[in-house]
Amino acid sequence: MKKIKKRVLALLMGVGLGLGAASSAVAQQSLEDVMKARGLTQKDLLAAAKTYTPTGGRDEYLAFSSGGQSGHVIVYGIPSMRILKYIGVFTPEPWQGYGYDDESKAVLAQGRILGKDITFGDTHHPALSETNGDFDGKYLFINDKANPRVAVIDLHDFETKQIVVNPFFRSEHGGAFVTPNTEYIMEATQYAAPYTEDFVPLEEFNEKYRGGLTYWKFDKKKGRIDLANSITIELPPYSQDLSDAGKGPSMGWGFTNSFCTERYVGGIERGRPPFEAGCSQKDTDFMHVTNWKKAEELVKAGKVKKSKGMYLISIEQAVKEEILFLIPEPKSPHGVDVSPDGKFIIVAGKLDSHAWVYSFDKIQKAIAAKKFEGKDAYGIPIIKMKDALHSQVQVGLGPLHNQYDAKQCVVYTSIYVDSKITKWNYCEGKVLDQINIHYNVGHLVSMEGETVSPDGKYLIALNKLSIDRFNPVGPLHPQNHQLIDISGDKMQLLYDMPIPLGEPHYVTAIKADKLKPAIRYKSGWDSRTDKRSQWRTRAGREKTERSCDTDGKCTVHIYGTVIRSHITPEIIEVTEGDTVSIHLTNLERAQDETHGFAMYSQSVNLSIEPGKTVSTTFVADKAGVYPYYCTEFCSALHLEMQGYLLVKPKGYKAKAGAIQEGQQYTKADYDKQVKTNVDTQAVINSVVGFITSHNYKDFPEVVALVEDATEQLGFADGAKKKSEGYAAKKDYQNSTLWAGQWWQYQVKAADIGLRAKTYLEEHDAKKVAK
Ligand code: RUQ
Ligand code: CUA
């Protein structure tokens, strides 16, 4: 019994013991010893204490960062700055099976452009869904600058559900930004191009090239963008940049920056001065002010024509209907950020040292009085800067973006050239504090800083260069996100976090308790369409169906399942030339029991989380033997979670005879295995005794574990019956093998039971009377 207990425990513990000695040595050191050895100051310790998160601890905020050129989204915790997940969005991501299973391939295929697969994206601006101007924790949107696309990520499971391609644009930058109730997601062009797909010479730039602003309609019930009810407003060929949606008094309006309103076209090789020279001549560019509420009313009144599947409002119509205005803004501006109360819009001028505060009230007064300084070349009325400006504040050289604090009138502006962050008061127009950044800060993010009720607390600087901040890893450097404490009057730098995955332009951060992600899927779930999969399979219902069309082309559908620690089926037989479609359902209910599925030479790699059904389809075009296995270390017998795809040559005749087993078993073997099982059961019973003698029902985590363990014991019982059946027939080969399977289920149950026991011990569970 002792020996068995040891054996079970050893098996369950696997590797990873032996830390005891080292940790007790550390415990003997004093804090001063460590500070001395590592050269740390009191200030360092304070910063460490503000970010350090003890084992098992959770973060207060979650950050969703663009993954830049990786086309992914990076999720990390604040203040620990621990990376939690990369979400595959525009780029395949094998760990999640994204771009490898049929279901997610279909999502990526929505992003095809001009008939081509685009397997990368230049992700820039993540935006969280809002209700009444506050983050609601339901969806995340992100844009792709290189290929004008927007993706929808459902925060119920952190998976990408939809990609939409802008039918008019050839490039974009300013997206995604959401309106206060996620009515629309804003996406503006960057580099002007013709709205048609044909060739138009650059000589016709002013007449035929166009910018634009799309208000993508979001269907909250379906959780998807609705192209048919989306609205694009045609804009002049200025390089539109970032946007922001109005709120409170400015609800219904949108603001979009631009640069290169000179409409300059470079051409170094033609002897022309380059873009950068011609695009920075004028002292001011234009802020575009758009009225999306009114645009929506026009659509409802049937006044807007459809083009390429959505509503398109021409510049002419936009001017006539008074939904589009321009206001001069500092040359080559970047961020345009509406204040939490919706009364002000702060614009930072990249080539200027000022931040410019516009008053929405003044803008409205000018519009109402039809007080304009003139029109641009496309007939759009221009509001005089003086008539719209509240104040103009010197914040540093090269201001880019703004983020709001919980404190009234306080805003933080990233200062690119000076490598600083400036904290200032935009109501009174005075600078409050500055901090150095390493180096050349781009965006910055405060906690829920884009909403009607920013939380303040932390600020993260997203830096364009890291230079000497980390151990060198070759010419391509990691990115550097710097965490800053903004809870006091003075900003305090807490932490440098390297990001090794593309240039993360923008981050948005939400209070973690607003997110309610699922632990498992409903059984047989297709997570990409959010419906039960037509390929779902229940335990015991696994099957293979082969059908051939009249040309003799055959398709084999395998309805399979995965559960600790086997894949059903374990042997798949097909004929050379067959199309093979493997559909796997994870039968697990337990938390974190994901199984993988990888196969030799077919580029097949699936991630099957509890409840999920995924498929992979390929042509078995070469006869041969193709092992497959589970890629997640899911259990002690994970390595045995394996199988073979046998692709038989056409016309193959099976040889006579059964599979030769390497081992022959006797009654003695059977009895030995049964004894092991009986002893194991005693261990399980003692664990069960411990659990049930405590108030485990007060711990939902433990209740879930107990359910899982009970299920495993049910399977053990099934195997036990089979084993005993064969033993009764004196078939000791099969009885011993099934007794082994019975033991496997016991081991899994014991594993879960011990986890539950440990949990109860760590959480000081109380003894209860039975
Ligand atoms: S912007 S360059 Cu968000 Cu500063 Cu993309
Ligand atoms: Cu399932 Cu390893």
Q: pLDDT tens-digit profile of 411-429?
A: 999 999 999 999 999 999 9
pLDDT at 7 over 90: no
What is the distance in A from the centroid of ligand 1 to the CA of 308? 28
Q: How many Å apart are CA 517 and CA 237, to the nearest integer?
A: 42
pLDDT at 100: 97
In terms of DSSP bridges, do strands 579-586 and 554-563 run parallel, antiparallel, or are they unpaired? parallel
Please give the distance, rounded to the nearest whole angstrom, from the Cα atom of residue 720 to the centre of ligand 2: 23
Distance from the alpha carbon of residue 206 to the mean position of ligand 1, in angstroms: 25
Q: For 49-75, b where at least 16 C-beta lie within 10 A, e where not — what string?
A: eebeeeeeeebbbbbbbbbbbbbbbbb
Q: Are 740 and 718 in contact (CB under 8 A)?
A: no
Kindly report the average pLDDT of the chain as a whole number.
94
Peptide bond preceding 330 in cis form (omega within 30 of 0): no
Res. 211: pLDDT tops 70? yes
Residue 462 bridge partners (DSSP): 481
Residue 667: pLDDT over 80: yes
Residue 332, pLDDT score? 87
Cβ within 8 Å of residue 103, ≥6 positions away:
526, 527, 528, 529, 533, 614, 615
Atom of ligand 2 nearest to the CA of 639: 2
Closest ligand relative to 503 C-alpha: 1
User: Rounded to 5 degrees, what are φ and ψ at 253?
Assistant: -115, 160
Give me the mean pLDDT over the 594-603 stretch: 96
Residue 449 has what pLDDT?
A: 97
Distance 505 CA to ligand 1 centre (A): 6
**Ligand lying closest to the C-alpha of residue 592:** 2
- The CB of 595 under 6 Å from ligand 2? The reply is yes
The DSSP letter of residue 502 is S
| pLDDT value at residue 16 | 37
Q: Is the pLDDT of residue 698 over 80?
A: yes
Mean pLDDT of 69-97: 97
Using CB distances shorter than 6 Å, the residues near ligand 1 are 124-125, 173, 242, 334, 400, 442-443, 505-506
Distance 671 CA to ligand 2 centre (A): 29
Residue 534 backbone class (left: φ over 0; alpha: ψ -120 to 50; beta: rest) = alpha
Query: What tokens does 278 get?
Result: 């011609």
| Residue 234 CB contacts under 8 Å (≥ 6 apart), including other chains | 195, 210, 212, 312, 313, 314, 315, 318
Ligand 1 centroid distance, CA of 508 (Å) = 13
Does 632 sit in the ligand 2 pocket, CB within 6 Å? Answer: yes
Q: Say if ligand 2 is within 6 A of residue 566 CB.
A: no
Residue 504: pLDDT band (50, 70, 90) is confident
Cα angle, residue 484 at apex, residues 479 and 488 outer, rounded to 5°: 170
How sure is the predictor about 589, in pLDDT bands with cuts at 50, 70 and 90?
Answer: confident
Joined together, the tokens standing for residue 706 give 């107990």
| In the predicted structure, residue 17 carries a pLDDT above the cut 80 | no
Nearest residue by C-alpha to atom 1 in ligand 2: 595
C-alpha to C-alpha distances, 703 to 141, 381, 516, 707, nearest whole angstrom: 35, 65, 19, 6
pLDDT reading at 21 higher than 50? no
What is the distance in A from the centroid of ligand 2 to the CA of 632? 5
pLDDT category at 657 given cuts 50, 70, 90 is confident
Whether residue 26 is predicted with pLDDT greater than 60 in this model: the reply is no
How do residues 443-474 score in pLDDT, each as one tens digit? 999 999 999 999 999 999 999 999 999 999 99
Edge-to-edge strand ranges of the sheet holding 83-88? 83-88, 72-78, 61-66, 507-511
Closest ligand, as measured to the CA of 609: 2
d(CA 288, CA 215): 14
Residue-wise pLDDT for 97-131, tens only, equals 999 999 999 999 999 999 999 999 999 999 999 99
* Ligand 2 centroid from CA 597, angstroms: 8
List pLDDT tens digits, range 709-739.
998 899 999 999 999 999 999 999 999 999 9
Closest C-alpha residue for ligand 1 atom 2 = 505
For residue 335, the ligand 1 atom closest to its alpha carbon is 4
What's the average model confidence in pLDDT over 197-211? 96
Determine if ligand 2 sits within 6 Å of the CB of residue 590: no
Structural tokens at position 525:
């779930």
Beta carbon of 567 within 6 Å of any ligand 2 atom: no
Radius of gyration of the chain (CA): 31
pLDDT surpasses 70 at 25:
no
pLDDT tens-digit series, residues 143-181: 999 999 999 999 999 999 999 999 999 999 988 999 999
Q: What's the gap in Å between 335 CA and the centre of ligand 1?
A: 8
pLDDT for 769: 74
Question: Does residue 18 carry a pLDDT above 80?
Answer: no
Q: Cα(60) to centroid of ligand 1, in Å?
A: 26
The predicted structure's pLDDT at residue 13 = 46
Confidence class for position 20, pLDDT limits 50, 70, 90: very low
Instruction: Give mean pLDDT, residues 543-572.
Output: 96
333 CA to centre of own chain: 29
Least confident of 312-316, 538-542, 738-742: 538-542
Has residue 693 got a pLDDT over 70? yes
Closest ligand to 587 CA? 2
The finding on whether 546 has its CB within 6 A of some atom of ligand 2 is no
| pLDDT at residue 293, as a whole number | 98
| Ligand 1 atom closest to residue 443's alpha carbon, by position in its atom list | 4
Tell me the average pLDDT across 691-716: 92
In 3D, which of 310, 297, 114 has the Cα closest to residue 227? 310
Banded pLDDT at 2 (limits 50, 70, 90):
low
User: Is the model's pLDDT at 364 over the cut of 80?
Assistant: yes
Residue with structure tokens 């003086």? 386
- Whole-number Å distance, alpha carbon 124 to ligand 1 midpoint, is 7
Per-residue model confidence (pLDDT) at position 4: 56
> What pLDDT digit, counting tens, does each position of 241-294 carry?
999 999 999 999 999 999 999 999 999 999 999 999 999 899 999 999 999 999
pLDDT level of residue 708 (50, 70, 90 thresholds): confident
Residue 641 in contact with ligand 2 by CB distance below 6 A: yes
What confidence score (pLDDT) does residue 29 get? 87
Top-confidence residue, 374 or 748:
374
Average pLDDT over residues 557-584: 96
Confidence of residue 34 (pLDDT cuts 50, 70, 90): very high
Ligand nearest to the CA of 175: 1
The C-alpha angle 370, 375, 381, rounded to 5 degrees, equals 40
Decide if pLDDT at 644 tops 60. Answer: yes
